[in-house]
Each structure stands twice: as structure tokens, then as C-alpha cells.
Structure 1
């Protein structure tokens, strides 16, 4: 009998400090053993471009750092997020060109909206695996149009009636925008054996809580034909649920985020102001042991999602607990700590109102299914 196909999912990836292979090395043994690893590329990798005004911009990362993804067997990335356009059209073009050179498939950000909405497709063991990627948090200035580069998106209304932006209280997805996403999914479904939909969504830096639009939007993706929905953006893990028997990882947390852009001690006024303001907004003080990943204290608990396709067509879902060692490097924890993280994932799901999952330990992994 043929071996199963293992597809793994990482959350946000930012590698804008030296030695990217070191920062990935704590999970690289796991990622290299998989058939396909899908991550979310949070920032552009470019040495050019002009800073996008109107949000808190991230700096462009070194293009050469993308090669570390290939060396860690990260073969596919979603890109539709709130920072991918921070260096403008040039930043997106440079990033895509380097990903193409490295053979890393990508979806979600391109020279115009039609290109950004196209699925990325790879083949593993005769199976076609497709990825669609959508930014659900704004800012609207980062969205692609028919004539401008940016990200694919689902428009989500803010409670105050203002524009969609990451710091807004986002409450409900626009029905027409959801319908466009569902049409993309239905079209990609026709040629894919496995279809993954990545949603950049949620409330940053706040434990457990899901915004009102998150579950309905993820359910809509499943109902249109997605096999798996993966979420990122919050920089802290979220719970997991099943809809129509298919897994939704509401928030993978950080995959590997190491950056100086979020530390208060810096020269960039907007980034320094945001680093201070988010302490008040979200009620936490970053641990000084994590200068490269100054997130909520609970963000040290993370996970790698798994979707396994067996030769007979049956599937199983699961996750691997990961922990972030100071100053921000993801590692596979010892069994006792992994069990604690597994309990944490269960607990935040219950707090968020998600159904309780059945969870079984299989070596370092947890196999999960709906009760």
C-alpha cells in the first residue's frame, strides 16, 4: 500500500534577521519529513520599493532569506495579508520572482486582482494540491485591484462603519465578497485533489477570542469546496473545529517570526508607537526574553497543523505542538510540555465556543476529529 501524503501548515513567517536557517532549525526536521509544507509569508522580501502609508508598515526582508524556506521544505506559501504590500508593487514582484526562482508555489498577492485570486498548485504523489489565499483584515490600501498590485481579499465590515483595517472591530463579511471567494473555491475545486484555503483573519494578540465573522467565513469556504481552512494573523494560537467533517485551524499562531520591527526601541516612529499602543489595546507586556518576538505571553504555545491523505482516499487531521524558545525560535517541545500545549489548544477552543474535539496522542502528534 502506498504511503500517505502528509501536508503540514505553518502560521506567520517573518525572517528579517540574519541566519534564517537557524531560526527554522528547531522545526526543520519535522518540515523536511513532510510531503508538502504550507506557510504564510507575512512580509515582502525586497531591497526596493516605497513604504506604504496608511497602516503600520513592516520593513522588507532580505530576499536571500527565502532560500531558507526551500531548505526547510516549505514548498508553498500564502501571501494575502496586511503587510505583503508594505513595499508597494515592487516588493510583491521581487518576492514572487524569488519564490518562483526557488520553486516555492505562492498564492494571494500579485500584480493585479485576477492574478492574486489564482490558486497555486503543486503535485505530490500524483495528487494535485491547490492553495487559495485571502486577506480578511485590510488595510484596504493593500488590496489588489484590476490595475494595481496587492492581495486577494474578503471584505469584512467594521463595527464603526469605517474602512477595513487590522485595528478595527471587524464583525461581518460582505456577502458579495464571500460569494467571490466561494466562486474561486468552486473553480479551483474542479482541478484539485486537495484544496486548502488560507484566511488572514482574526483579532491580534488576544487569547482564545474569535471575531464574529471568523466561523461563518471559514464555514462558507468549506461549503464551497475547501478541504482544509487555515487561519493566521493573530500571532497567537486559536482553536480548531470541523465543519462537514473538514478541519478548520482558526489560528496557527506564529510559524517562525523573528523581527526587530515590533520592539519599542527603534527609530521608526509608526512602529515604535504601535509597539506601545498594542500593550494598552490588548493588555499585555511583552516578555523581555523575547526581543525578536514580543508577543502576548501565551503566544509561546503554538502548533503545526497536519492533513494526511491515505492511499484509499481517507483523511485524518492533527497537529504538532510547538513552543517558542527565547528570543523567538520555534522548537518541538518535550512530551510533558507538548501535552500542556495540547491542553491549551483544547482550552482556548472551548473558551471561543468551539465544539469539543476528540484528541489522541500519536507519538509527538495529536490526531483530532469531531466528537
Structure 2
């Protein structure tokens, strides 16, 4: 595949593509996908994380900062861009309650897409979507690792599949009330349930993709301890590819036991007025928009429109790629992208912008402690272990 033409390399069996967060909450949404749609459509299976409900209901069912639902009609644009599966387990999945979840799933299915990670109960939310691709069965699972608890599905409540993560705050030295040392880890029972779900799914498919909603939002090049724990557990249980999202900024790329973990794919199409002070739809959104700078220490890029209220570094993003050979060998890669001045992600090959985005990915990968190899092969960046190009398996 090239970023310019979107043509896939048919010497491989098939290609999976995946991106990070999607918030499609602006008029004429096709324009935001126009630069990337040829690349996304050229893949045999394309996956994205749907960050907010897309529904007409105005119900609010969370004590966290609620995300107003986007127009469900916009999901047709997501499908036209080439998406086949939407993962939904995330902190905003139940903001509009069970009605919002049901309406979002129905709208996605009406547009021809499948969904994973949310449903009317925990059993459905934690069951894989299985898609046949070039005669192979590919499964997709989706788990939310960041809460809040009112987004979690139960046996009798709609919501998302989840892993419960615990935080321990330890005072540093003789300084009670000062900045603490923070330790995070998965609740053992919750982690074991995720492992079991992944193992069961892996036994039923030829290849398994696991999506994890995780990470420290708006914070460059920093991983919490639980992120390694949960991601590694997913691979240990049978995941062939792990994709992360939620932080709204790219994270590094890790190779663990011959499998690639994209710790955070960042933003893709994330266009919304919900975090803009002038357009906030309620006092909770207004307070959150006003506190962003204090909490995360950044100002939004002044060159960006109000509907892209994110960290300036978040304009670096990528499309994750997994080429699956006819013999089952896996060749992971990424396509560097840059979010343009209107909020549209634009794929880049070996041009000036593509090289700059790749250098950013190399830097944050190294800062997170990984020695992953990232090298151009045509207009994609192949991923290997320890800075050596080639197949992982």
C-alpha cells in the first residue's frame, strides 16, 4: 500500500488497518475522512474506536463529564471511509445510557459496520466480533481500562466490557499532601476475566485483535504501569495484535513475544465542540474545558479550529497495519499521518511530513523504554524487534 494511492500489496494474504479515537461530531463529516479514505478502503479489514455515542437521545447516565451524543447519521460517513468494525468499550460508551448504546449499535449496523465492546449486558459486550477475511476468521475484542464504573456492563445493565484498574497514591518523603508517587495495577479477578475471554476467542479464530481503552490523557510519552500489565496479559492469552486508544495522543510501539502492541494510536478524526468553552453544552463540559490547561499543562494549537481542542502534539498520528501472509506470517507496520488545519488526518509517505511524524514516533517509543525497529519500506513503516527489519514470526 502507498499513502498516495492506497493500493494494497497483494503478495500478502490480507491487510488489517486500525486507527485510534473517532469523534464525528461536525457537519459534512465526509470531508474529515477524504484524505485517508483511499488508504482505509484498501485494507481488507479496517477497525476504529468510537469514542462517544452516536444517538438522538439526550439522556445523561454518568456522574463523569458526559460527552453529548453525536449525530448517528454521521456513522454512514465512517462506513464510507472504509471502516468495517468499530470498537466501543470506553469511558464515554454509556454516557447516554442503554438507549444511547443501543441506538449507536443500530446506526453502525445500518451503515454496514460491526461493533465490539458494548451491548445490552456484559456477555454481549465482552464477546468477540468475528469477520471472515480472505477465508480466515479474524476476531476483535474491546475492553475499557479507564472507568468510570457507571460505564461498565453487568449481567443486567448495558455498558462496555472492562478491566478494573486500581491506583495507589504514596506520599514521597515527609511531605503529606504533596505530589505522590502513583502505582497502578489491574484488579486480579478482572484481569483474569479478560484473559479468559481472550483465550476463548483465540481458540475460535485464526487471528485475534484486542483493543484496549487505556492511558494517561493528553500526556506525551508516558505509560502507566497497568498499561504494560494489561497489554502483556492480552498477548499471553492469545492476542495477535493489541491496539490502544483513549489518551488522545500517540504512544510508543512495543514488540512483546513476537506480537506488536500499539500502546496508543492517538486521535484520528476527533472533531467536536463539546470541549470548547464557547460551545460547551452544559456546566460540566464548561468546567472541564476551563480546567484542561491546569490539569494537563498545555494550550491547544492556535492554528487549529475550535472543534479540535487537543494537545498540539496530537496532530501526529498513524494508521496501524498488519499484513497477514498466506502462510499466516505477520508483518506489522504503520502509516504516518498528520492532522491538518481542518482536523482531517492525512497519510504521508516518505515526504518531509512523513519523516517528521516517524521521528516523533521513534522518539516517544524510545522515551517509553522500547527498542522497537521502525524503518521505511516504500510508503509504510515496518516494525521489527531491536531495530532490525523483517518478519516478526
Q: Per the shorter chain, which TM-score range? A: over 0.9
Q: Which deviates further from its counterpart, 136-145 or 257-266?
A: 257-266
Q: Distance in 2 between matches of 1:170 and 1:61?
A: 35
Relative to the length of structure 1, the TM-score reads 0.95
2:258 corresponds to 1:245: yes
Identify which of 284, 298, 302 aligns with 2:313: 298
Query: What's the offset of the Cα at 1:315?
Result: 1.1
Residue 309 of structure 1 pairs with residue 318 of structure 2? no
Q: Aligned partners of 1:333, 1:287: CA distance in 2, in Å?
A: 21
TM-score (norm 2): 0.90
Structure 2 match to 1:165: none
**Contact 1:49–1:89, Cα closer than 8 Å, also in 2:** no
4+ residue runs over 3 A deviation: none
SS in 1 for 2:32: helix
Alpha carbons 1:324, 1:330 under 8 Å: kept: yes
Q: CA deviation at 1:266?
A: 2.4
Where do residues 280-291 of structure 1 align in structure 2 (5 Å cutoff)?
Answer: 280-290=294-304, 291=306
2:352 to 333, 336, 348: 336
The whole-number CA distance in structure 2 between the counterparts of 1:360 and 1:221 is: 26
Deviation at 1:158, TM superposition (A): 2.2
- Mark the structure with the bigger radius of gyration: 2
CA distance in 1, matches of 2:186, 2:340: 36
What does 1:111-260 align with in structure 2 at a 5 Å threshold? Answer: 111-160=120-169, 171-260=184-273
Residues 176-204 of structure 1 show CA distances to partners (whole Å, capped at 9, x for unaligned) of: 11100000001101111110000000000
The question of whether the paired residues in 2 share the 8 Å contact of 1:289 and 1:327 is answered with no
CA deviation map 1:261-302 (0-9, x unaligned): 111212421111111212111110112332111111111111
Deviation at 1:49, TM superposition (A): 4.3
Is the contact between residue 49 and residue 88 of structure 1 (CA under 8 Å) also seen in structure 2?
no
What is the DSSP-based 3-state SS (H/G/I as helix, E as strand, rest coil) of the residue aligned with 2:35? Answer: helix
Check if 1:271 corresponds to 2:298: no
Deviations 1:326-351 (A, max 9, x none): 13111123611111111111110111
Q: 1:46 and 1:170 mapped to 2: Cα distance? A: 37
Is residue 73 of structure 1 aligned with residue 86 of structure 2? no
CA apart distance, 1:160: 4.8
Structure 2 counterpart of 1:101, from 110, 114, 124: 110
SS in 1 for 2:36: helix
Q: Is the 8 A contact 1:49 1:90 kept in 2?
A: no
How far the C-alpha of 1:3 sits from its partner, in A, is 4.1
Report the counterpart of residue 349 of structure 1 in structure 2: 365
Is there any run of 5+ residues in structure 1 with no aligned partner, and where? Answer: 162-168
Question: How many equivalent pairs are there?
Answer: 363
Gap regions ≥5 residues in structure 2: 1-9, 171-181, 387-393
